[in-house]
Amino acid sequence: MIVVSWNRAALLRRCLEAIERAEERETLQAIVVDNGSTDGSTELEAEFPNIRFVRLPHNFGLTKAWNIGIRAAGADYLMLLHEDTELAPGTVKELAAVLDARPEVGAVCPLLVDEDGLPAPQIADYPPDGIYDPAEPGDDPIEVDHVKGAALMFRSFFFRAMRMIDEHYGQFGADAELCYRIRTAGKKILIVPEARAVHRGRRDTSEDREVDFRIGVAVFMGKHYGFFMGVKARVRAVLGALFHFRLGQVVPLISGQKIDGSQS
C-alpha cells in the first residue's frame, strides 16, 4: 500500500488512521512517500511506527513518488492511495478477494464516496481530459476503462512488466497510463461497490498544476494516439493560455515544465 502526500498533514493522518483500522492490518505493508512536505507531515512518522515513511527532498510529483514507493514495496498486489482517501475497514480484504477469485481482472477499486456517503468523481474516458464522473453504485462490480488513482489495487506484475510508470508524466497522467496498460494487456478494471473509500479531493488549483495537467494530456496523446496528436495537444494548450491571458503558463507549456522535482 503506497500513499503519496505533499503538505496535507491533517488529511494524511486520517488516511493512516483508516489504514490502521483495516481488518487485515497485520498483513498489510504500508508506505508513505512524502514529497518534501513542510507542514509537519513527516512528524506523523512517530505517531505511526508500523508505517514506513520515505522522505523526498522536494515535490517530485505523483508519478515519480509512485515509482519510488512501488519499488520499495514487495507484494503480489499493490494499492495506490492519495493522502485524502480513507478506506473503510474491510476494503482491502474485499478488493484482494476479487483479484484472488478472478484472474481476468488486473485492477480493482473501491467505490469512492464523499463525506456524505454519495458517489464521488472516479471514472473517466480516454483520451484523458481531467474530468471524472461518479460511478453508479449497485450490487455487482462495474467494469471501467480508466479510474482515478485515489484508491487503486492492481497486480504487481503489471508494474514489473512496465519497469516503471513513464516519468514523462508529472502530477497528472500516471493513473491514466497505468489503467491503459492494464486494459491493453487484456485485463479488466473493476469498481467493487461493496468496498468503500471516502475521497475528499483537492479543490485548489495552482498554475503549476494546470500546466502539469496540460502536459500530461499531451504526453498521453503522443504515446497512444500518435506523435502529431501529442503536438496538437501541446499547441492547443499554449494557444489556450494565450487566449485566456495566462502568460505565465506559456513558457512552461512549451518547455514541458511538469511537476517532477526539477521545478524546485
Q: Contact at 8 Å (CB) between 152 and 146?
A: no
Give the C-alpha separation, 127 to 172, whole Å.
13
Angstrom distance (rounded) from CA 191 to CA 151: 10
Q: What pLDDT score was predicted for residue 206?
A: 74
H or E element: which one contains 52? strand 52-55
pLDDT digits (tens, 9 = 90+) for 142-178: 999 999 999 999 999 888 788 889 999 999 999 999 9
Residue 103: which residues within 8 A CB-CB, separation 6 or more?
A: none
Give the pLDDT confidence of 184-198 residue by residue, as tens digits.
Answer: 999 999 999 999 999
Q: Is 233 helix (H, G, I), strand (E, B) or coil?
A: helix
Q: Provide the pLDDT confidence category of residue 207 given band limits of 50, 70 and 90.
A: confident
Residue among 24, 193, 11, 242 nearest 34 (CA): 11
Sheet holding 121-124, edge to edge: 133-134, 121-124, 146-147
pLDDT in tens, 100-128: 999 999 999 999 999 999 999 999 999 89
Alpha carbons 144 and 157: distance in angstroms, whole number:
20
The CATH code for residues 2-199 is: 3.90.550.10
Q: List CB contacts of 211: < 8 A, sequence separation 6 or more.
A: 249, 252, 253, 257, 258
> Nearest 10 degrees: CA dihedral of 177, 182, 185, 190?
-140
69 contact partners, CB below 8 Å, separation of at least 6: 2, 3, 4, 31, 33, 54
Q: HSE of 212 in the Cβ direction (CA atoms, 13 Å)?
A: 23
pLDDT band of residue 211 (cuts 50, 70, 90) is confident
Tell me what pLDDT residue 32 has: 97
SS3 263: coil
Predicted local distance difference test score (pLDDT) of residue 245: 74
pLDDT digits (tens, 9 = 90+) for 219-253: 999 999 999 998 998 888 888 878 777 777 777 77
Cell for 83?
A: 493522502
Per-domain boundaries in the chain: 2-199, 207-255
3-state DSSP assignment of residue 32 = strand
CB atoms within 10 A of CB 257: 17
The β-bridge partners of 146 are 124
The residue with greater pLDDT, 245 or 183, is: 183
Mean pLDDT of the chain: 90
The SS3 of residue 183 is helix
Q: Is 14:44 a contact under the CB 8 Å cutoff?
A: no
